[in-house]
Chain A
Amino acid sequence: MPEVLESRIHAPTAARGLRYGVVLQRLGLVAFIVIVWWLLALRVPHYVLPGPARVWEALTLISDSGTLWQDLGITLGRVATGFVLATLIGLPLGIIFGASRRLGEFFEPIIPVMNTVSSAIWATFAIIWFGVSNATTVFVVFMTAMPLIITNVWQGTRTVNADFIELAHVLRMPAWKVMWKIYLPTILPYFFSGARLAFGFGWRVSLVAETLGSSSGVGYRLRQAADLIQTDQVFAWTLTLVVMMAILEMGILRPLENYLFRWKKEAEQ
C-alpha cells in the first residue's frame, strides 16, 4: 500500500491530456463568438456594431500611436495602487477584528454598509475631494476593495483551528510566531479569494471613476471614443481589457493559487 501512495505523491496532479482538451474548447468558443459577431456586423451600420476587421484596425491604430499601452499602464497603475493600499490596511484590520471579539462586534455593521455604497457615489465624493487626478481613481478602487478584503480575512480568522493554537501553546511558541505560522497560512486562502474579488471589482470601478474624474486612462479613452461615436475604438478598448483580465487570471492568479494551495485535497480544487 505505501508504494501506491508514493506513486500518487510523485505523479503530476493534473492530467495533461485533459488540459489540452480544455484549451481546444476555449479556442472553439472564441472562434464561435467571432463568427457570430462578424455575421451580425454585416447587417448593422458600423457605428452601431463594427465588425472584427474594423475593430482590429482601430486596435492597431491606438496601439501604433502608443496610447493603448500608455493608458493601459496608467489604469493598471491606479488599480494596483488602490489595491495594494486596500491590502495593507484591510489585511491587518481583518486579522485584528477577527482576533478581538470586542472590536469585531463594534465595527461589524460598517462593512455591509461600505459594501452597498455604489462606486459611483465614491467617485462623486472623490471628485469633490481630489478633483481630476490619479487620487480619484485610486480612492474609488481602495474604497471598493478594502471592505471585500476585510470581510474575507475576517472570515478566515474564524476558521483558525483552536487545536493548532493549543499545539503551538504547548511548545510555548511566542505570539508573533503563532500569527505567522498558524494564523497567516489559515487566512491565506480567504485573503486570496477576497483579493481576487477586490481586484476584479477594482478594475470595473476604476473605469467608472476614470470616465467621471480623469483625463487619462482606459475609462477616459472609452468615454472619449463614445462621445465621438468611434464605436470601433470602444470595441478595441473593451477587447484589450478582456484579454488582459484573461491573461491575469490564467497566467498569474490561477497558477499562483494552484502552487500556494497545493496542500489542499485535489477533490476540493
Chain B
Amino acid sequence: MNSAAAVATDTGAITVRGVSKWFGSGDGALQVLDNISLTIPSQSVVAIIGSSGCGKSTLLNIISGLVTPERGDVILNGVPAREFSDWRSISYMFQEDRLLPWRTALRNVEFSLEAGSMLRSERETRAREALKLVGLESFADAFPYQLSGGMRSRVALARSLVQEPCILLMDEPFSRLDALTRAQMHEELLRIQQLKKMTIVFVTHDVEEAVVLADNVVVMAPRPGRIREQVAITLPRPRDATEPVTAQQAHHLKSLI
C-alpha cells in the first residue's frame, strides 16, 4: 500500500503514457492520436487546446475509459486504468449536453447519482444544491426543451459536479454560454475546484478561457493528434480576461495552434 501511495504522488492524478489511437482497421485506418504522454498533477487545472479534429475529445474519451487506445496506457490516481475501480470519482462533461429529454432539470442532475444506491431524498437534496451552484434553482422543474442552450449546458455542469468528483473532465463546457455567464461559471468552477480539491482537465477552443482557468495548457497539433507544446500559466489569480498580461499570454498561445 505504501508503494502504491508513493507511485500516486509520482504519477499525479492522471498519467497518459505513449497513447496512440487509430479509428477503423486495415488500410483505411485513421490515426487520430500519436504517442501522447502527459502527467496531470493532483488538484491542477489543465486546458487542452488545438484545432478541431485533432483528437481532443478522443483523448478525454480515453482518459474516461470510454475508448481504449491501441497503444500506451492511462494511470488514474496511481492505478492503471485496467485495474481502476473508483470510476464514480471521475466525472465527464461531454461536448454535447446529453440531457435526457424526458427528465426535468432536477432529475437530470440526479441521474449522476443513480448508478449507486443513494437514497432518493438525499439525491434530490444534492441535486438541488448543484442546480443552485449553477444559478438554476428556479428551473428545477423545467424540461430540457424549455431551456436555452446556455441553461442546458449549466444543467450538464451541475450533473457533473453533483457527483463531487476528484477528477473532472470537460469537453468545451462553456462554449454555449454568453460572455457574462461564462465569466461567472469560471469563477464558480475555480471556487469549487479549490473547495473540493478537484483535478480538472478541460478542452476549449477559447484561448482566453484557457489562460484564465488553467495552470497548464496543452497545445495539440493535428493529423495525427500529438502534443506540440505544454505551457505553464503562472499569472497570479484571480485572473481577468481583459487585462493586458492575460491577453498577451492568450496571444502567445494562439500563435502556437
B76 to chain A, nearest CB (A): 13
Are B139 and A163 within 8 A (Cβ)?
no
Segment among A63-71, A127-135, A165-173, A242-250 that sits at the interface with chain B? A165-173
A164 in the interface (beta carbon within 8 A): yes
CB contacts (< 8 Å) of B145 on chain A: these are 263-265
Cα-based distance from A2 to B138 in the complex (angstroms):
10
Cα-based distance from A181 to B107 in the complex (angstroms):
11
Q: A163-B94, A171-B112 are known contacts. Are A5 and B87 too (CB-CB below 8 A)?
A: no
Are A181 and B142 within 8 A (Cβ)?
no
CB contacts (< 8 Å) of B65 on chain A: these are 170
Residue of B nearest to A262 (CB): B143
Interface residues of B in 156-176 (CB under 8 A from A): none
B88 to chain A, nearest CB (A): 6
Cα-based distance from A6 to B148 in the complex (angstroms):
11
B166 to chain A, nearest CB (A): 15
Are B103 and A263 within 8 A (Cβ)?
yes
Interface SS of chain B: loop
A52 in the interface (beta carbon within 8 A): no
Interface SS of chain A: helix
Q: How many A-B residue pairs have CB under 8 A?
A: 64
Interface residues of B in 47-62 (CB under 8 A from A): none
Cα-based distance from A181 to B151 in the complex (angstroms):
23
Residue of B nearest to A184 (CB): B102
Cα-based distance from A166 to B67 in the complex (angstroms):
11
**Interface residues, chain B, CB within 8 Å of chain A?**
64-66, 87-88, 90, 92, 94, 96, 98, 100-103, 111-112, 114-115, 138-139, 141-148, 151
**Interface residues, chain A, CB within 8 Å of chain B?**
1-2, 5-6, 8-9, 163-164, 166-174, 177, 181-182, 185, 262-265
What are 29 inter-chain pairs, A to B, with CB distance below 8 A? A5-B148, A6-B139, A9-B141, A9-B146, A164-B98, A164-B100, A166-B94, A166-B98, A167-B94, A167-B98, A168-B115, A169-B66, A170-B64, A170-B65, A170-B87, A170-B90, A171-B87, A171-B112, A171-B114, A171-B115, A172-B87, A177-B115, A181-B100, A181-B111, A181-B114, A185-B102, A263-B102, A263-B144, A264-B145
